[in-house]
């Protein structure tokens, strides 16, 4: 019996698209190499809970090698892709060059500062586990400093938080800080008057959660008010003076803020080498109905970096986890068959956002939930989506404990330390 030589698939990015592709691809037909800058899969919808000390980073992270240890022919390589050579069929990281037969790109998105690139070094963001930990440390340090500060005016300055962007991420992180203000401050920081902490969310359009229903937007506005969060709509940020801590808005208004949290926009991660590909809005790869990058027969883009326009979605599919998961499964099915037989069709399973305990909104196939039913639905769906039974149990225990006690043992201010001086990893020999 002749042995069929396996094709080699390289997957760039271990997010929802990459992980689901690995699970569904036929290991008897393909050898698979996953490349990611981290050695773990993380769960972005819960980054805000790390930032607000609601969850431990390990609870929403899962090591790639642990997931792949029983998968024959699947390897993980740590690295960040620097370039792709479509003619030579190779991917180059800072450490190595890897050949491929098929290339799947699912690198996700990064922050979009809309031309204000100086914000990169001035604001706090929530696009990775590391960024979430950084924001958690900033919030906790400011609370600790304010608790020993003698001047009420200086305490107010220390505790000024502004969230730019009224989408799900912005609403969720503003709500989480609002919960700390309303429920935690008097318990654990009795030297701080909760009127001294200001939390403001700023949205450039006329309502929060613009991509969701008006019902959800209305309840999100109401719930944030319950948590003492100020809301500014139809307000566009123009610039931020990091030295004076002043936000300048397009209408001329100014606002003092020492902790500025940016959730206003996303853009696709860039990959050099595909020079013939004309990138679309949001730095996304144009793909056909099989997720094949236009002009590249053996390179595919999945999830947030794939731009597939259809009559129902003329601006491309929404950049949601469900889109990435469904595209990865559909593409894996086609690759397993050896032909592009089934075009991708998105099945919208709805959108949700949580604004604190018993406060959430959900748009589920023309069913609108809010309050506790939406919150319980949100908890259930997120819980089953997290990788690893240990992680599921850990998250559930934290949520149940916090629900009844409003307490958590995770408000730990742990600052990173620098490595000793050493030869740079990039120059390590192969």
> pLDDT tens digits, residue range 276-330?
788 999 999 999 999 999 989 899 999 999 999 999 899 899 999 999 999 999 9
Report residue 414's pLDDT band, with 50, 70 and 90 as the boundaries: confident
Beta strands in 112-187, from DSSP E residues, in sequence order: 160-164
Query: How many Cβ atoms sit within 10 Å of the Cβ of residue 387?
Result: 19
CB 326 within 8 A of CB 346: yes
Confidence check: pLDDT of 356 > 90:
no
Q: Give the percent of the chain with pLDDT over 70.
A: 95
What band does 392 get if pLDDT is binned at 50, 70 and 90?
confident
Rounded to the nearest angstrom, the gap between the alpha carbon of residue 101 and the centroid of all alpha carbons in its chain is 29
Among 2-11, 61-70, 305-314, the minimum mean pLDDT is found in: 2-11
- DSSP conformation class of 338: T
User: Looking at domain 7-111+267-337, which CATH architecture does it have?
Assistant: 3-Layer(bba) Sandwich (3.50)
Q: How many CB atoms lie within 10 A of CB 209?
A: 25
Q: Would the pLDDT of 149 be above 50?
A: yes
Judged by average pLDDT, the poorest of 175-184, 394-403, 416-425 is 416-425
Flag whether pLDDT at 256 surpasses 50: yes
- The pLDDT confidence band at residue 428, using thresholds 50, 70 and 90, is low
Q: How far apart are CA 339 and CA 292, in angstroms?
A: 12
User: What is the pTM assigned to this prediction?
Assistant: 0.91
Average pLDDT over residues 110-116: 91
Is pLDDT above 60 for 427?
no
Does 404 have pLDDT greater than 80?
no
Q: Compute how many other C-beta atoms are within 10 angstroms of the C-beta atom of residue 219.
A: 24
Q: How confident is the model at residue 393 (pLDDT cuts 50, 70, 90)?
A: confident
- The answer to whether residue 4 scores a pLDDT higher than 50 is yes
Write out pLDDT tens, residues 79-109: 999 999 999 999 999 999 999 999 999 999 9
How far is 395 from 60, CA to CA, in rounded Å?
8
pLDDT confidence tier of residue 1, bands split at 50, 70 and 90: very low
Each domain of the chain, given as residue ranges in start order, spans: 7-111+267-337, 117-264
Q: Calculate mean pLDDT across residues 325-352.
A: 95
Answer CATH for 117-264 from 3.40.50.300, 3.50.50.100, 3.30.465.10, 3.40.50.12280: 3.50.50.100
Q: Write the CB contacts of 356 (distance below 8 Å, at least 6 apart in sequence).
A: 175, 176, 178, 179, 223, 226, 227
Q: Is the pLDDT of residue 208 over 60?
A: yes
Q: DSSP letter for 388, please.
A: S
* Amino acid 366: pLDDT: 79
Residue 384 pLDDT > 80, yes or no?
yes
Task: Please determine whether the domains at 7-111+267-337 and 117-264 fall in the same fold group of CATH.
Answer: yes
């Amino acid at each position: 019996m002749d042995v069929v030589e396996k094709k080699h698939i390289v997957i760039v990015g271990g997010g929802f698209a990459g992980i689901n592709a690995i699970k569904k691809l036929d290991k008897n037909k393909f050898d698979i190499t996953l490349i990611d800058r981290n050695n773990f899969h993380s769960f972005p919808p819960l980054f805000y809970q790390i930032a607000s000390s609601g969850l431990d980073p390990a609870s929403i992270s899962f090591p790639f090698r642990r997931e792949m240890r029983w998968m024959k022919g699947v390897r993980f390589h740590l690295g960040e892709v620097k370039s792709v050579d479509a003619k030579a069929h190779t991917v180059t990281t800072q450490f190595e060059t890897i050949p491929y037969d098929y290339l799947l790109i699912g690198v996700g998105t990064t922050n979009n500062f809309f031309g204000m690139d100086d914000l990169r070094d001035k604001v706090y963001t929530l696009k990775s586990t590391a960024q979430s930990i950084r924001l958690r440390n900033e919030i906790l340090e400011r609370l600790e400093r304010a608790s020993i500060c003698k001047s009420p005016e200086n305490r107010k300055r220390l505790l000024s938080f502004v969230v730019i962007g009224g989408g799900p991420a912005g609403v969720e992180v503003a709500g989480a800080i609002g919960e700390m203000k309303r429920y935690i401050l008097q318990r654990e920081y009795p030297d701080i008057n909760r009127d001294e902490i200001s939390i403001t969310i700023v949205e450039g359009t006329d309502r929060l959660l613009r991509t969701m229903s008006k019902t959800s937007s209305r309840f999100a506005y109401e719930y944030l008010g319950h948590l003492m969060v100020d809301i500014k709509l139809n307000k566009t940020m123009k610039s931020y003076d990091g030295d004076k801590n002043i936000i300048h808005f397009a209408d001329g208004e100014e606002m003092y803020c020492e902790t500025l949290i940016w959730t206003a926009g996303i853009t696709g991660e860039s990959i050099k080498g595909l020079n013939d590909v004309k990138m679309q809005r949001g730095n996304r790869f144009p793909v056909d109905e099989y997720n094949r990058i236009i002009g590249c027969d053996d390179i595919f883009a999945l999830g947030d970096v794939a731009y597939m326009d259809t009559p129902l979605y003329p601006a491309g599919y929404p950049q949601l986890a469900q889109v990435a998961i469904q595209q990865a499964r559909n593409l894996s099915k086609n690759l397993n068959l050896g032909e592009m037989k089934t075009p991708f069709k998105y099945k919208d399973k709805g959108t949700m956002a949580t604004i604190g305990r018993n406060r959430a909104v959900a748009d589920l196939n023309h069913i609108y939930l809010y309050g506790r039913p939406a919150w319980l639905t949100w908890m259930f769906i997120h819980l089953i989506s997290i990788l690893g039974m240990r992680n599921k149990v850990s998250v559930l225990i934290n949520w149940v404990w916090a629900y009844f006690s409003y307490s958590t043992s995770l408000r730990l201010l742990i600052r990173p330390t620098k490595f000793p001086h050493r030869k740079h990893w990039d120059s390590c020999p192969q």
